[in-house]
Structure 1
Amino acid sequence: MTIFMDYANETRRAVLCIDVKSFFASVESVKHGLHPLQSEVVVMSRGNQNGGLVLAASPKVKEKYGLKTGSRKYEFPRKHQMLIVPPRMGLYVRVNGLINQIFQQYAAKEDIHTYSIDESFVDITASYHLFGTSVYEVAQKIQRQIWDELRLAVAVGIGDNPLLAKLALDNEAKDTVSHIAYWSYESVSETIWKIPKLTDMWGIGSRTAKRLNTLGIYSVYDLSQADVTLLKKRLGVIGSQLYYHTHGIDRSVIAQKHIIPPSSKSIGTSQVLERDYTKREEVELIIREMTIVLSERLRQTGKQTSCVSLSISYSRTEQSKSWSKQLTISPTDQTRILSETLLHLFREHRENRAVRTIGLSFGKLVNQPYQQLSLFDEPERQVKASQLDKVVDQVKSHYGKTALFLASSLQESGTYIKRSQLLGGHQRDSTS
């Protein structure tokens, strides 16, 4: 017998999940006087190099050439009419601000949640009746206003809660003529249960999907009919949460900032190098620089990490595959300890190959109100190192990221100084 939920006691809200189609490429199209949906524009990092990375491609490029985010320049056809432009993160941030100003005409600031630079949730439960006779009509007005004022096309998912709005956006709205879709509690069996793959469900990645597969669950519908007690036993709280999500249940309220998915339990960064790094000391310098940046982020969040990860990808000219290793440590936020640990991982697993991409991640984040001293290091040294980190953070906060840096970063192989001038990992624009 099919399991259905009783939604009589569930709160119904009017939530919009709004996404700008191919945001970076669309903004560049508009700036170049082109139609964002008809132009052939590619935003590319290091576009003058054969290994240049596609950061965004206009819909026409995706359709005509099969290129997408993550494609490389060497994958481009020899003959094309694409306009290749460098990223201008400052411009994209400003345009995002203009979009949010439009949202604020329809909802209070606390009812708006910026999910990413190109996607936002807007809860218009308390205000939609001021602008139209239905939520759908208001969604159309917002969509039309963004086009009229900014010439950007947006897709809108509408739902009785943030989850349903997000699923409506990702699984229907982006592919419809109107670019608007509404998913309600009553439509769950015809919408959520028909989502093709487990990984198309919000909150389910490949690892979680594999764990569900071991339980005989291969589809969203299978998950909705599973034993919730067993799911919680095998997957913990996330198991029962996913079960209720397949029934469209989500009690988060945007104004309370309880938007799902929950805040990340890890932070990370990665860097595609401008050339192949063949010397060990060159790679180690980049690891040190990246550790400095990531440990600063860690301290800013008031967290400490108890699991560090390092991933290395080699040049495409090498035969070796990429690798990723992690190590559990005592909770810490100290740059010196984290740097030493990551360098240990690199030295233990490195191959004599040309490195092109480096990734770091700090996981299993914990709140640590006091400094936990290690038994394997002198207490006084640990305290001084922690104090030094705080002083360095304060100096950089006041005088800028390049006020203090490793002397070795002045070497040709160093990237810290150059990357400190970037925004979101990409070049700022000097003009709008």
Structure 2
Amino acid sequence: MVMSIDYTQMPRRDVLCIDVKSFFASVEAVRRKIHPLGAYIVVVSNRNRPGSVVLASSPKVKKEFGIKTGSRAFEIPNDRRLMIVEPSMSLYLKVNKMIIDILKRFVSDEDLYIYSIDEAFLDVTASRRLFGDKFEIAKKIQHTIFKELKLVVTIGIGDNPLLAKLALDNEAKNAPNGLAYWSYERVQETIWRIPELTDMWGISSGYKKRLNNMGIYKVYDLAHADRFKLKSRLGVLGSQLYYHAWGVDYSVISERVGPREKSYSKGQILMRDYYVEQEIIVVIQEMVDEVAMRLRAHNSAASGIALGISYSKDIEERGFKHQMLLQRSTNSTKELAVSFIQLFKRYWRGQPVRQIHVVCTKLGSDEYEQINLFSAAECDEKNHAIDAVMDTIRLRYGKDSIFRAHSLLRGGTFLRRANHVGGHKG
């Protein structure tokens, strides 16, 4: 039985989902005074490693060579037209800030949601009297960003954020004018005709397999599935996916609720497999050092931690993720490192490690940091003083201006990565 949905009861807003076409590659093209749509640029995390990941490629490279985000460096053909460059993350962040400043000319802060470094949602419902209807606003944004930054943007327009995002991903990115509008009234001819389940926002390859096992292969099948069976098999997400297949999304950008719990984290993919315990511990200590510095910069202390370890692709085991509560809240590099190392030793059994992720959770103000009954107050003060001095020096002279001696040991990565931004060269 096909469910009937009364779309008159749904929030109907003018929502734009904006994407900068091949952002990293486009910025590199503009930097070289080349039109982004005419460039042959591939941004690779490290040109010296054949297995390096492609972070972005120009539209022409995608179309003519099939090289896209996620491809590997060894897949790039030897063609003299291709320009292979390493990322400039600091520049990308600077340009991202310029784009956000342009978007803020069209909407208030509460009607703007930054989804990623190259995507943003705008609710322009309240901007119509100033700039015209949603189509006029979309065109003005395209024109302004190209005029000032020489970047090409595509825009999905929808009656809610879901429809805007689906319009962007499934039509606007390939439309001649870079625009597409999906409304409640067009769900059957738009959403239900999306060819792949993974082209739906929120459906990963893992959930695709689970849906396939239930006999669901297309978005049309999802919209006509038994929603109660979906919920029993997939939980709340099953219900959400069902309603998404009907274009239902009650969220309003200005009323969005932020994350329930803030945390600070750092992840790192290692350049090789690590087999030696002490080498792995060195990397964990370096990563904790950086996260602890961020905690102190925000006057925060953590009372919980989580450690994620991923193993080499050459073994069947995938790794582990475990968390623990601390005896007291802290932002001390030494105290946090001791807890992370304890967690690592408890669960690691000698497998080759390729990726590490450290997270500090359950945050509170460092004004209420508890006294440690099991260590002398003088030791606490000494550790805090060392942290404070190191933070001050790094902020003034750079991250690599002062470092702990263990970074000189075999396995250390801090000095090589000190000037990276987001894990890539600045």
Q: TM-score, normalised by structure 1?
A: 0.81
What is the alpha-carbon distance in structure 2 between the residues aligned to residue 382 and residue 328 of structure 1? 29
Query: Which residue is 2:339 aligned to?
Result: 337
SS of 1:19's partner is strand
What is the alpha-carbon distance in structure 2 between the residues aligned to residue 221 and residue 325 of structure 1? 36
Query: Residues 242-279 of structure 1, C-alpha deviation per residue, up to 9 Å, x if partnerless?
Result: 222222121222223348x9989996612242x67675
Query: Which residue is 2:333 aligned to?
Result: none
What is the alpha-carbon distance in structure 2 between the residues aligned to residue 207 and residue 108 of structure 1? 37
What is the alpha-carbon distance in structure 2 between the residues aligned to residue 382 and residue 174 of structure 1? 61
What is the alpha-carbon distance in structure 2 between the residues aligned to residue 214 and residue 361 of structure 1? 34
- Are the equivalent residues in 2 in contact too, given 1:392–1:404 (CA < 8 A)? no
What is the alpha-carbon distance in structure 1 between the residues aligned to residue 290 and residue 66 of structure 2? 35
Query: Which residue is 2:124 aligned to?
Result: 124
Query: Residues 173-210 of structure 1, C-alpha deviation per residue, up to 9 Å, x if partnerless?
Result: 11111111111111111111222222221122223333
Residue 135 and residue 329 in structure 1: after superposition, are their counterparts in 2 closer, same or farther (change >3 A)? closer
| Matched AA of 1:244 | Y
What is the alpha-carbon distance in structure 2 between the residues aligned to residue 87 and residue 43 of structure 1? 6
| Matched AA of 1:350 | Q
Residue 387 and residue 155 in structure 1: after superposition, are their counterparts in 2 closer, same or farther (change >3 A)? farther
What is the alpha-carbon distance in structure 1 between the residues aligned to residue 320 and residue 155 of structure 2? 39
- Are the equivalent residues in 2 in contact too, given 1:18–1:120 (CA < 8 A)? yes
Give 1:217 deviation, angstroms: 3.1
Q: Paired residue for 1:360, among 354, 357, 360?
A: 357
SS of 1:234's partner is helix
CA RMSD in angstroms, aligned pairs only:
3.6
What is the alpha-carbon distance in structure 2 between the residues aligned to residue 262 and residue 63 of structure 1? 41
SS of 1:127's partner is helix
**How many aligned positions are there?**
410
Give 1:124 deviation, angstroms: 0.6
Query: Which residue is 1:8 aligned to?
Result: 8
Give 1:236 deviation, angstroms: 2.9
Query: Residues 209-259 of structure 1, C-alpha deviation per residue, up to 9 Å, x if partnerless?
Result: 333344443332232233333433433332322222222121222223348
Is 1:326 equivalent to 2:320 in the alignment?
A: yes
| Matched AA of 1:342 | F
- Are the equivalent residues in 1 in contact too, given 2:393–2:402 (CA < 8 A)? no
Query: Which residue is 2:22 aligned to?
Result: 22
Query: Which residue is 1:414 aligned to?
Result: 412
What is the alpha-carbon distance in structure 1 between the residues aligned to residue 241 and residue 387 of structure 2? 39
Residue 63 and residue 390 in structure 1: after superposition, are their counterparts in 2 closer, same or farther (change >3 A)? farther
Return 5+ residue gaps in structure 2 as ranges.
330-335
What is the alpha-carbon distance in structure 1 between the residues aligned to residue 388 and residue 228 of structure 2? 48
Residue 390 and residue 16 in structure 1: after superposition, are their counterparts in 2 closer, same or farther (change >3 A)? farther
| Matched AA of 2:104 | Q
Query: Which residue is 1:59 aligned to?
Result: 59
| Matched AA of 1:17 | C
Residue 215 and residue 50 in structure 1: after superposition, are their counterparts in 2 closer, same or farther (change >3 A)? closer
Query: Which residue is 1:159 aligned to?
Result: 158
| Matched AA of 2:374 | E
Residue 387 and residue 231 in structure 1: after superposition, are their counterparts in 2 closer, same or farther (change >3 A)? farther
Q: TM-score, normalised by structure 2?
A: 0.82
Return 5+ residue gaps in structure 1 as ranges.
315-319
Query: Which residue is 1:198 aligned to?
Result: 197
Residue 395 and residue 224 in structure 1: after superposition, are their counterparts in 2 closer, same or farther (change >3 A)? farther
Identity of aligned residues (%): 43
